[in-house]
Structure formats: structure tokens, C-alpha cells
Structure 1
Amino acid sequence: MELGSKIRKLRLEQNRSQEEIAQACGFTKSLLSKIENGKTVPPIGTLIRIAESLGTKISMLLDDNDFNGTVYTPKASNMEKMVQTDQGYAFSAIAAKRPEKLMQPFYFVVQKGKTGKRTFSHFGQEFIYVLEGTMIYYVGKEEYTLNAGDSLYFDSVENHKYVLVSDEVKYLSVFCSDTNG
């Protein structure tokens, strides 16, 4: 099942309107409609807000399987499941088959000149580890230059954004939205 269809199915199972979910997420009903109809793929922060408003984890929106054991994700599998967003980057959820996890790791590939200048903010904490390339990452009013091997851990409710220095950056980002255990 496609991402938008999963969101619509969960929303309808809960007898909730698009307006209600959109308001809870802080965006328009029109945007939610576009997401549900597969006309746009939102950024990760938006998906996290949708999942939280529906009382689920982002991994449940990205994978149909219900598995609570050890999850092995081969490299080839990650490359096959890359999702291209309208924000100029592609991502793949790692270990998406396990729905009840405390954190959600993602693999990102971002290309210079294709991403917007959007600032993100969502509940939880985030960890970033740069695999290849260089980017400047802003958290609040602080600026960090991240090269391959560098990492950053921050409260993701703080406004954050990035600017690429190299033509392409590949990085791992781990989100944890349940900070209360």
C-alpha cells in the first residue's frame, strides 16, 4: 500500500477528518489531501507529525510488515526503497519492518541545488552522522560544518536546517519522537 493510502486508511479507521489531522499537524487540509492522493511526498518532519497525530510511528506508515524481532537490512534493500520527496532529497527508512521501536533510523541522499531552504521542527530528538560529503547544519542559532565522520545530536523541536557545501551529501539520521520513554 502506498504512503498516502496508508495515511488515509488510518485516518478513516479513526473516523477523523482531513481538517482535524491537518490542524493537529499545523498545516493545511489541502496539503494533507495532496499527500493522501499521492500528489506529494512530504518531508520527514511532516511525516512524523502525521504519524503522531494518528497515534502511530512513522515506520508503520513506511512499511506494511508487523515484526518485533531483530531486523537485518541489506544495503541493496535500502537502495530499492528510496523515497524521492518534493523537497529535493531521497530517503530510506532503515529497519522499517519493526514497528515498535524507540528510534527510527533513515538514510538520506541530498543533492546541492535541489533542496529547499525550509526550516524543520518536530517533537523528539535527532542524531545525524555524515557518511559522505560536507554540509552546514543549523540548530537554533548555532552553525555546524559537518564532514564525513562528523555527527550532531540535538532536540529536534529546535528549528533546524542544512545547506550543502559539496554537490551531494549522504548521511544517517536517527529520530526518536518518544522522549518520555
Structure 2
Amino acid sequence: MYLQHNIGKKVKEARLSKNFTQQDLAERCNLTKSHISKIENGQAAPAVATLSKIAHELDTPLSWFLESNIQNKLSIVKSNEKKLKIGNKEIGYTYEALANRPRFSKVEPVIVTVLPEAEYVEPFTHVEDEFIYILNGSINLYYDGELHYLEQGDSAYFEGNIPHIFLSADKNKEATVLTFFIQNNPL
């Protein structure tokens, strides 16, 4: 819950720095004003694709919203000091930021836990390229209308602006995916 609330505060901070109303941001991201309000108040955990759209519209790196503590030259995150994950059963994923980096870093490493009960939802798009490595379990990666089965040890690199989503291939077991979001264009 802490990270979810922290993300909301950062969304609001970035939105206000651009002099956008919640309605302005909602329209730019094809979301409702109510959803933006819930994100800013820590009442909703945005999917990474949604947060990516928000970050793009606010000219702010996605990683800045996910980090909880900024260090300039070295980032060490001890396993026993990690903050709570964001995400939930409704969006089908949980996300755990792996590094606390400067605001304008071009790479965001994240552990994505793909929940087995997640239903197929519309594929996402975002501005960052994405690299995924399956740590355990297996997933079905839907990319540009094609299905790709990936299991432990497999990886994929793809453009985030093409519709995609990955879901657990085994409805009884979650999958864990090391994901890197890679910003190609300077903001």
C-alpha cells in the first residue's frame, strides 16, 4: 500500500508541475477523471501500461513513479528492505521495482509476478521497449496478435508500442518475470 500511495503522490506532483487538471490528464491517457483521482489518492494500483501512458503524457520516466528512494550513483536494494509490491488480482500482475535510481534513468528493472487467476484482458501498449526473462513458471505472450509460449529460462525483447500482454500459461501456478522497461527516446 505504501508504494501505491507513493506512486499516487508522484502522479499528482508531476501532473501539477505540467499545470494539468485531473480531467486533462485523464483525457490525454484515455482514462476517467475518477480513475486518475483514485490513483493519486492511493486507492487504485495502476497497471504498468497505464502508468506508462501517464508518465509519457507528463514527460516523466516511468521509473520515477516506481522508485521509493532516490540515490545518485549506487542503488542497492536489500531483499529484506523491499517495499510492498503494487498491483492486484484485478489487473493480473504485481510489480516490484528492483532499483532506486535517478529520475531520468533509461532502464527500469522490475519483477512482474503474473497471477494464475488473471483473465485475458486487452493488450497494452507503452512507449518503452521491453525485455522479459522468465524466472519461473510459464507465460503466454500475446504480441501483435500472435501467441508465444515462454517458460523458465526463455526471454523476449520487443517494442512496447505494439499491443502485447502476458498471462500465466498454467492457471494453477503464478509465473515470475524479470522485466526491463527501456526508454529509447530522451524526454
Give me the TM-score of the superposition, normalised by structure 2. Answer: 0.86
Shift of 1:152: 0.6
2:172 counterpart of 1:169: no
Q: 1:50 & 1:22 partners in 2: Cα distance?
A: 9
Cα pair 2:85 2:96 within 8 Å, conserved = yes
Q: 1:130 & 1:115 partners in 2: Cα distance?
A: 19
Shift of 1:31: 1.5
Shift of 1:180: 5.8
Q: Which residue of the partner structure matches residue 85 of structure 2?
A: 82
Kindly provide the CA deviation profile for residues 55-106 of structure 1, in whole angstroms up to 9, marking residues without a partner as x: 211222223533221222233334x432233413211111133323111111
Shift of 1:20: 1.3
Q: Which residue of the partner structure matches residue 135 of structure 2?
A: 131
Shift of 1:169: 0.1
Cα pair 2:14 2:60 within 8 Å, conserved = no
2:30 counterpart of 1:26: yes
SS at match of 2:181: strand
2:172 counterpart of 1:159: no
Instruction: Tell me how many residue pairs correspond in the alignment.
Output: 180
Give the unaligned 5+ runs of structure 1.
none
After superposition, residues 1-80 of structure 1 pair within 5 angstroms as 2-78=6-82, 80=83
- Aligned letter for 2:184? D
Q: Which residue of the partner structure matches residue 178 of structure 1?
A: 184
- CA 1:11–1:87: 2 relative to 1, 3 Å: same
- Aligned letter for 1:170? T
Give the % identical residues: 30
Kindly provide the CA deviation profile for residues 19-74 of structure 1, in whole angstroms up to 9, marking residues without a partner as x: 11112222222211121122211100111111222221122222353322122223
Shift of 1:164: 1.4
